[in-house]
Amino acid sequence: MFELISSFNAIKTSMLIDREKGRPLELDSIAGAVLKRCANLGIDAPYTSTIATLLKQQAS
Per-residue pLDDT tens digits for 28-56: 999 999 999 999 999 999 999 999 999 98
**Is 31 buried (19+), middle (13-18) or exposed (0-12) by CB count in 10 A?**
buried
E strands present in the chain:
none
Tell which phi-psi region holds residue 42, choosing left (phi > 0), alpha (psi between -120 and 50) or beta.
left
Q: Which residue has the higher pLDDT, 11 or 46?
A: 46
Rg over CA atoms, the chain? 15
Q: Is 10 part of any domain? A: no
Residue 41 lies in a domain: yes
Domain contains 21: no
- Would you say residue 12 has pLDDT above 80? yes
Task: Assess if residue 34 is contained within a domain.
Answer: yes
Q: What is the pLDDT of residue 2?
A: 83
Instruction: Give pLDDT, residue 9.
Output: 78
The reported pLDDT for the residue numbered 24 is 92
Query: Is 25:59 a contact under the CB 8 Å cutoff?
Result: yes
Please give the tally of structural domains in the chain: 1
Model pLDDT, residue 60:
67
